[in-house]
Structure 1
Amino acid sequence: MLSLEFLNPLILVCITPLLGIVALSVIPTTNRYLCRLVALNAVCLTFLFSLFLWIQFDSTTALFQFSSTYNWIPSINLYYTIGIDGISLFFILLTTLLMVLCILVSWGSVKSLIKEYLICFLLLEFFLIQVFCVLDLLWFYIFFESVLIPMFLIVGIWGSRERKVRAAYQFFLYTLIGSLLMLLALLTIYFEVGTTDLQVLWYYNFTELKQIIFWLAFFSSFAVKIPMIPFHIWLPEAHAEAPTAGSVILAGVLLKMGGYGFLRFSIPMFPEASIYFTPLIFTLSIIAILYASLTTLRQVDLKKIIAYSSISHMGFVTIGIFSLNLQGIEGSILLMLSHGLVSSALFLCVGILYDRHKTRILKYYSGLMQVMPIFGIFFLFFTFANLGFPGTSSFIGEFLVLVGVFQINRILTFFASIGMILGAAYSIWLFNRVSFGGLKTQYFLSFQDVSRREFWILLPLTFIILWMGIYPISFLNELHFSVIGLIEQLL
């Protein structure tokens, strides 16, 4: 029976990073190459097993698949349950893919404490996978907060500048304090209902007042993670100080945990409160889109430009989620996946420049298309994907979000569209300043185009962004019934 249980691909996806940590712990610290090789094999195997989830996934049902339940403390009705639906499937795939790229991009750039660095990333992967597949509110909270520990270490120890410790503490405290209210709400729910099983809580009728209080408690946690304005202060600082791989996983996956939390918990558990607070979400989202876009235009640090643009994109996501219709929610999920790929690719491009020239200040770069043409082509493609150019993944996500919002409020759609115009402005202006103009040889004497390793890191992201933009139905098929099931719980 146990052997059959371990044939479940979701179990394999969950335990492979832990097996990688065990293997790394017995390897001597001095053998750096073997440490890197073991970590790379662990994340590649995890990604391979996650592909089996997609291959075996039944897209004709909204039920959770690959489920497993383990008795944790049966006497007080607490169980550890995992399973996935169409919504969580792609977040797990995104996590496992980006982890492979994170290990590859760190191959030569991380010089100290390599074994510990790799263990942190494998631990982070384990926690993130659990966040997206666990079906119990208490376990979700545990893993949701556990993500902070390896990320805090990654920013604080392997960050790139002097302010890295301050940025790490800011990130940790902001997100932890936001989640304390969620913990109090969780305990109240447990003592009222008698369980934290998500599939039971979905069908439990809380009173309107309790829904409003619980919704606000959960919102305090998820809004910081997204982050929504005015809870965004930690994000640009954390991005600016984190190593390249840290920025990739922070933008690619950690920012999606808040949106996933709204979809998995806030909307189905507290439907009346979700409808009640929709105007608040719309207002904060429009402010985020416009404010973050305008702030992006005046940044001089390459990483902060991408960080503020992420806040703007996540404003689109929250508008789509709380449109509470099929097109808006599916568009927001596609936009989260797209942002995970595009922003990660842009951070990888910035990391390539930083590895060569040890600066991210924009004024030092100009005319790179003359000496780094392959890099310039990749950077052009990802810039166009970031502004939502037709044929790329972001366009499909933003288009569906606008279709969903248009059915509710046309004025809101107009302001969101202004955000798209501003997005095009800062994206094209950034590319123009970095790639064209005269070479500033007074700052840099030698230039090197992308290496073979960097080329093969950026190429799969290019392929997936095009695939999602040209043939989105292959992603929407899996999402469709899960999103319909979510909407039915609102009715």
Structure 2
Amino acid sequence: MNDTVLQYLLVAVVLLPLLGAGGALLPAPPGLKGKNPDQAVLRHGVTITGAVLALTIALAAGFDHGHPAKMQASTDISWIPALGIRIHLGIDGISLPLLVLTALLTFLCALYSYFKMPEGPSPKAFVALLLLLESGTLATFAVLDLMLFFLAFEMVLIPMYFLIARWGGAGRERSALRFILYTLLGSVIMLLGLLLIGLKAGTFDMVALATDSSHAGRHLSHTTQLIAALAIGLGLAIKAPMWPLHSWLPDAHTSAPTVGSVLLAGVLLKMGTYGFVRIVLPITPGAAHTYAPYLAAFAVIGIIYGSLACLALARGGSGGDLKRLIAYSSVGHMGFVLLGIASLTPTGVNGALFANIAHGLITGLLFFLVGALKDRYGTSDLDTLAGHTGAALYGKAPRLGGLLAFAAVASLGLPGLAGFWGEMLAMFGAFKPAAGLHRGAYLTFTAIAAFGTLLTAAYLLVVVRRVNMGERETADAPQPVLADIQTYEFAAWTPLVALTVLAGLWPAVLLGLTDPAVRTLLGGN
């Protein structure tokens, strides 16, 4: 496809949700009101996110798959000449899969909300915030200017704050406040690092900084790289989230509405790890090499910590919340992503990018399923679900129970499903790290991460056994009627299941995109 057409498609993908957010706040035209105004605005959300998904698929179809390392669909317009800030957009094999993932998950969330709108204020505000969130996330993966990256990175915070605070569950205001304070603090620190790079190098252009050795070498001393990478890395690590900067995540997930949890886990966490790959590794390579062992150490601690927390929550009588458990599982899974990045090898970074996409698909599905259980029982407390359902999910709602089991085994990394490849490649990368990194330390990190996969399998199998098979069910006690998967749920979840299987059986589809781009980024050519 002509690059000019791709350019217009990318601009439309980023701007259409923003325009749609404004349109959601306007009165519906007389012929489109449907049964009521609420239905009209929810249908508007489905229409806009569906159009964005269609444009993103067209963008992916027109992408030159023979040259995924080349930046395509580029738009480069001067915005603030005095500061050298430009409106620079473009995609390569690293950012394209994340754009498609964001568009897909947002569309599925809008579709799900059309039939199961969370309790809260006006749907107008809900749809507007959802579209604003999509626009900010898509822009984060498409912009190629450090200042625009910061603006897009910040753009998602306000809509996610209000989605949690206004449409969330118990403790939503406290959780939303904690989310915004943590991420804003990280963003302020990150901004200082971005400004340091731009002012020292004389440009904020990410492509120039990553590919022009005069920018990466002559203008950024090792000390400057160390300071800038530390500041940027802290902001990205909070969003990732990396242990011990993760403590905002479990509360946010537990209180968020179902679609908020899906988008938070599915795409917002990826913004942090994407920033490490797009900014820290190519622009501050010396600092990345210095900090890599520490990043790897924090990553494997996060893997073990997240798994042990999940095991504690899964234990009978602990009063564990299933949404909270999946949130802690994200800390562990993102630990594998960070470990792959910390290896500084093409194998490890490719594994990290693959694990990013796999986590978005699988954890998005898990949060959809837990939301469905909570809708049916009014709680996501694991003890209550295990006690009340007995053998209900396998015996009374077999499709729901089977889908929960599928998502669990996909999350634990069963070969043949998407979760396997990312974690395996991340550990392969850590097993043989980049030159100059201590091999013995990385072998230890790899062994710890491998042990973490066993803990992951342990807590997920406990969850499946307790929720699908139950622990107690008296014959005299009345059993609640349990609805199996509804048509709208089937429509929202089927794409995630299909892509989880496809990525697991045919990983070359994704690795063929990321590998050339990763090698170019790490090689600086």
- Fold match, TM over 0.5? yes
Q: 1:450 corresponds to which letter in structure 2? A: I
Change (3 A) 1:223 1:180: same
Whether 1:398 aligns to 2:423 is yes
Match of 2:191 in 1: 183
For residues 49-72 of structure 1, what are the alpha-carbon distances to aligned partners after superposition, in whole Å with 9 as ceiling and x for unaligned? Answer: 111121111133312100011221
Q: Structure 1 residue aligned with 2:511, among 466, 476, 482? A: 476
Q: Structure 1 residue aligned with 2:373, among 344, 353, 374? A: 353
Q: 1:280 corresponds to which letter in structure 2? A: Y
Q: Structure 1 residue aligned with 2:339, among 306, 319, 324? A: 319
Match of 2:21 in 1: 21
* Aligned counterparts of 1:195 and 1:260: Cα–Cα separation in 2: 21
The secondary structure found in structure 1 opposite 2:305 is helix
Match of 1:8 in 2: 8
Match of 1:33 in 2: 39
Deviation at 1:232? 0.6
* 1:68-217 correspondence runs (5 A): 68-107=75-114, 108-111=116-119, 112-161=121-170, 163-202=171-210, 203=212, 204=215, 205=217, 206-217=220-231
Asked whether the equivalents of residues 59 and 481 of structure 1 are also in contact (C-alpha less than 8 Å), the reply is: no
For residues 88-119 of structure 1, what are the alpha-carbon distances to aligned partners after superposition, in whole Å with 9 as ceiling and x for unaligned? Answer: 00111000000011112222232431110010
* Aligned counterparts of 1:310 and 1:442: Cα–Cα separation in 2: 36
Deviation at 1:27? 2.4
The secondary structure found in structure 1 opposite 2:482 is coil
Match of 2:410 in 1: 385
* Aligned counterparts of 2:245 and 2:9: Cα–Cα separation in 1: 37
For residues 107-165 of structure 1, what are the alpha-carbon distances to aligned partners after superposition, in whole Å with 9 as ceiling and x for unaligned? Answer: 2232431110010000000000000000000010011011101000000110011x100
* Aligned counterparts of 2:271 and 2:447: Cα–Cα separation in 1: 28
* Aligned counterparts of 2:497 and 2:461: Cα–Cα separation in 1: 18
Deviation at 1:444? 5.5
Match of 1:487 in 2: 522
Structure 1: segments with no counterpart, 5+ residues: none
Change (3 A) 1:276 1:7: closer
Match of 1:424 in 2: 457
Match of 1:258 in 2: 272
Deviation at 1:15? 2.0
Whether 1:280 aligns to 2:288 is no
* Aligned counterparts of 2:26 and 2:284: Cα–Cα separation in 1: 47
Q: 1:189 corresponds to which letter in structure 2? A: I
* Aligned counterparts of 2:196 and 2:283: Cα–Cα separation in 1: 14
Match of 2:439 in 1: none
Asked whether the equivalents of residues 6 and 12 of structure 1 are also in contact (C-alpha less than 8 Å), the reply is: no
The secondary structure found in structure 2 opposite 1:365 is helix
CA RMSD of aligned residues (A): 1.7
Match of 1:363 in 2: 383
Asked whether the equivalents of residues 350 and 515 of structure 2 are also in contact (C-alpha less than 8 Å), the reply is: yes
* Aligned counterparts of 1:474 and 1:249: Cα–Cα separation in 2: 24
* Aligned counterparts of 1:36 and 1:444: Cα–Cα separation in 2: 34
The secondary structure found in structure 1 opposite 2:79 is strand
Q: 2:21 corresponds to which letter in structure 1? A: I
* Aligned counterparts of 1:190 and 1:386: Cα–Cα separation in 2: 39
Match of 1:44 in 2: 50
Asked whether the equivalents of residues 365 and 407 of structure 2 are also in contact (C-alpha less than 8 Å), the reply is: yes
* Aligned counterparts of 1:22 and 1:426: Cα–Cα separation in 2: 44
Asked whether the equivalents of residues 357 and 444 of structure 1 are also in contact (C-alpha less than 8 Å), the reply is: no
Please report the TM-score for the alignment, with normalisation by the length of structure 1. Answer: 0.96
Asked whether the equivalents of residues 20 and 42 of structure 1 are also in contact (C-alpha less than 8 Å), the reply is: yes
Deviation at 1:195? 2.3
Q: 2:204 corresponds to which letter in structure 1? A: T
Q: Structure 1 residue aligned with 2:59, among 46, 53, 63? A: 53
Deviation at 1:19? 3.0
* Aligned counterparts of 1:157 and 1:171: Cα–Cα separation in 2: 14
Q: 1:217 corresponds to which letter in structure 2? A: A
Whether 1:446 aligns to 2:455 is no
Match of 2:233 in 1: 219
Match of 1:375 in 2: 400
The secondary structure found in structure 2 opposite 1:86 is coil
Please report the TM-score for the alignment, with normalisation by the length of structure 2. Answer: 0.90
The secondary structure found in structure 1 opposite 2:94 is helix
Structure 2: segments with no counterpart, 5+ residues: 314-319, 434-441
Deviation at 1:327? 1.2
Whether 1:412 aligns to 2:445 is yes
The secondary structure found in structure 1 opposite 2:379 is coil
The secondary structure found in structure 2 opposite 1:66 is strand
Q: How many residues align?
A: 486
Q: 2:298 corresponds to which letter in structure 1? A: L
* Aligned counterparts of 2:186 and 2:426: Cα–Cα separation in 1: 27
